[in-house]
Structure 1
């Protein structure tokens, strides 16, 4: 008798269907990866953390929180979001650990956050890709505890869990697509940047993170057209 090509896996059977998120909303799971990155553009000093979330709907990738802007100044919203994530995951400090990926490229992972449970409220952002076609990505609007559904502030001040549900109820897609008669410049806005993202003040591991570069192998539908996507 020949060897079977498949043997039944009930857990895999339960996972049948589309993977990942396709609409904005509240998603919880484990932080699969948390990677520090810096700007590809030599004129930009921006720095970010990029998350992938292993959620019940599948992997949700490219969730970027920018904590340093193009001008080198801290971004209040991104800093605050990283602090909220640290508070919800009970992590006191973040460090960059050098990891060589499957392509032999060096990435700088935040091991303290990887594997931690977290919830994110994600807003869907429509944008124009470099080839002129439509694409979408997600911005983190809020972080929350997956068990309590409370934000860090609600948890610390013993408030009822209200912020997440109110935010989800008011979510609408953000349309950043260019008019058809314009050509995309490749300078798309970054996930997690500016005032669209949470609350805090991260640790500053930049001093040892300036030498490596390269694009990482990503697992979701298509890599968004970021101008800032190089690991430290």
Structure 2
């Protein structure tokens, strides 16, 4: 007698439908993947996070820390440092991993770490027309304390997240469609180390990008033991 592949589970059936975040709000979970990305046609650099959250998977959370002109972006750099502080990580490296569609550059130091994010829903017009949305990180906070890094180190009450949520609304960046489309809305998107062109995140990287060089140097040279004080006041 053939064994069934599925046996009906009524509780599972009740939660069918799309998972993940759908609205502006605060979400907690674990960082599933952290990928470094290079700009396709610029000098921009970003880190792209996927979160296994309390509501399901939330993907493509991008933090740009270097602009198109190659200059550091203060806001993005501060956010990366806040995430490092909350997860108690002192250094980040690009570790090359061979993916299905080519090399991916993982930040292994962040993967698996618990984190909370205040996410803002951003509405936009897709290149081929129609509406889409993405999420942008507006604040990072501790999963257990709900405190930002500043609140944690300064021993302040957990207030910043709720204050931000009280005033944060969806952002509408949708544009009226023209005969030629949306004017190349995705032309300057950075390439994702996920590989391929899924979800419009760009083409695979050219050989010897900055990330490849960083990963190569990391693989070839032993890493010194970091010189830091582990006593983070949490």
TM-score interval, normalised by the smaller of the two chains: 0.7 to 0.9
Using the TM superposition, give the Cα deviation of residue 18 of structure 1 relative to its aligned residue in structure 2, in angstroms: 2.5
Of 140, 162, 165, which residue of structure 2 is paired with 1:165? 162
Task: State how far apart, in whole Å, the 1-side matches of 2:150 and 2:97 are.
Answer: 33
Q: Quote the offset at 1:174 in angstroms.
A: 0.7
2-side partners of 1:87 and 1:122: how far apart? 19
Aligned residue pairs total 206
Alignment of 1:34-53 (within 5 A): 34-41=34-41, 44-53=42-51
TM-score (norm 2): 0.78
The SS at the match of 1:3 is coil
Shift of 1:12: 5.9
Q: How far did 1:40 drift? A: 1.2
Q: Which one has the largest radius of gyration?
A: 2
State the superposition RMSD in angstroms. Answer: 3.0
> Does residue 144 of structure 1 match 2:141?
yes
Q: Compare relative contact order (CA 8 Å, sep 6+) and give the higher one, 1 or 2.
A: 1
CA-CA distance at 1:8 after TM superposition: 6.6
C-alpha separation between the residues in 2 aligned to 1:158 and 1:215?
39
Q: Does the aligned pair in 1 maintain the 2:86–2:141 contact within 8 Å? A: yes
Number of the residue aligned with 2:113:
116
1:216 aligns with 2:216: no
Gaps of 5+ in 1: 192-211
Any unmatched runs of 5+ in structure 2? 212-234
Q: What SS does the corresponding residue of 1:135 show, helix, strand or coil?
A: strand
Structure 1 residue aligned with 2:102, among 98, 102, 105?
A: 105
Distance 1:115 1:97 in 2: 15
Change (3 A) 1:144 1:11: farther
Partner of 1:185: 183
Q: Name the structure 1 match of 2:5.
A: 5
1:229/1:113 CA distance change after superposition, 3 Å: farther
**1:205 aligns to what?**
none
Name the CA shift for 1:56/1:12 in 2 (closer, same or farther; >3 Å): farther
- Partner of residue 31, structure 1: 31
